[in-house]
C-alpha cells in the first residue's frame, strides 16, 4: 500500500497469549481494536485534527492468525469528503519461523474530523496519484453512496 506519509500509518504486533481466543488464534475483537487505532492514526495525520470512528464499513477475515505470529497493519486514506474520510487497513501476518507474509484481513473505516469544539471539521482533500489510489478512490466513492443509501432507507 503505497501512500504519502501524511495519509499513511503502519504498526506491528506479536500475537501474545492475552490476544488469543479459545482456538489459539488472534481474537477478532483485539484485531478490530488494532485496526481502529491504526486507521485513526492515518486519518488524524491526513486531517491534522482529532478524528472519531463513524463507521466500520466492512472487515473481511480471510485467515486465522495464530499465537506468536507477527502482525503488520497498514492504513491509508482512500477518500475524503468535506468532514469525513475513509481509510483502508490491510492486515498481514507471518509466522516467526517463516518469511512469507499473508494478507489476513482488510477493513474499511470512516472517520469524521473534529475541531476543538468537538464539531465536525473540514479535512484537506485527498488527491489520488497512482493508478491503484485512483481505483481505490473510485471504489470508496461507491462505498460511500451505498452507506448513504442504507442510512436513508433505515431512516424511512
Output the pLDDT for position 5.
57
> How far apart, in Å, do the first and last CA atoms of the chain sit?
39
Report the DSSP beta bridge partners of residue 58.
108
Q: Assess contact for 59 and 42: CB atoms under 8 A.
A: no
Output the pLDDT for position 3.
47
Q: In what order do the strands lie in the sheet with 50-61?
A: 8-14, 70-80, 84-94, 102-114, 50-61
Show the domains of the chain with their CATH numbers: 5-155 (3.10.129.10)
Query: How confident is the prediction along the chain (156 residues), in pLDDT tens digits per residue?
Result: 444 556 899 999 999 999 999 999 999 999 999 999 999 999 999 999 999 999 998 888 899 999 999 999 999 999 999 999 999 999 999 987 777 889 999 999 999 999 999 999 999 999 999 999 999 999 999 999 988 888 787 776
Output the pLDDT for position 97.
76
Output the pLDDT for position 78.
96
| pTM of the complete model | 0.90
Handedness of CA 73, 12, 36, 39 (dihedral sign): negative
Residue 7 DSSP label = G
- 123 backbone dihedrals φ, ψ, rounded to 5°: -110, 150
Which grid cell sits at 87? 481509510
Amino acid at each position: 500500500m503505497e501512500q504519502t506519509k501524511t495519509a499513511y500509518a503502519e504498526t506491528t504486533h506479536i500475537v501474545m497469549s492475552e490476544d488469543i481466543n479459545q482456538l489459539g488464534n488472534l481474537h477478532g475483537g483485539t484485531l478490530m481494536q488494532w485496526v481502529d487505532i491504526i486507521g485513526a492514526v492515518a486519518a488524524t495525520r491526513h486531517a491534522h485534527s482529532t478524528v472519531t470512528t463513524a463507521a466500520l464499513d466492512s472487515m473481511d477475515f480471510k485467515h486465522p492468525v495464530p499465537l506468536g505470529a507477527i502482525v503488520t497493519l497498514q492504513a491509508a486514506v482512500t477518500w475524503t469528503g468535506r468532514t469525513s474520510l475513509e481509510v483502508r487497513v490491510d492486515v498481514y501476518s507471518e509466522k516467526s519461523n517463516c518469511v512469507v507474509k499473508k494478507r489476513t484481513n482488510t477493513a474499511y473505516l470512516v472517520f469524521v474530523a473534529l475541531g476543538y469544539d468537538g464539531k465536525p471539521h473540514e479535512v484537506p482533500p485527498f488527491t489520488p496519484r497512482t493508478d491503484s489510489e485512483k481505483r481505490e478512490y473510485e471504489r470508496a466513492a461507491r462505498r460511500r453512496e451505498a452507506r448513504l443509501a442504507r442510512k436513508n432507507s433505515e431512516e424511512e
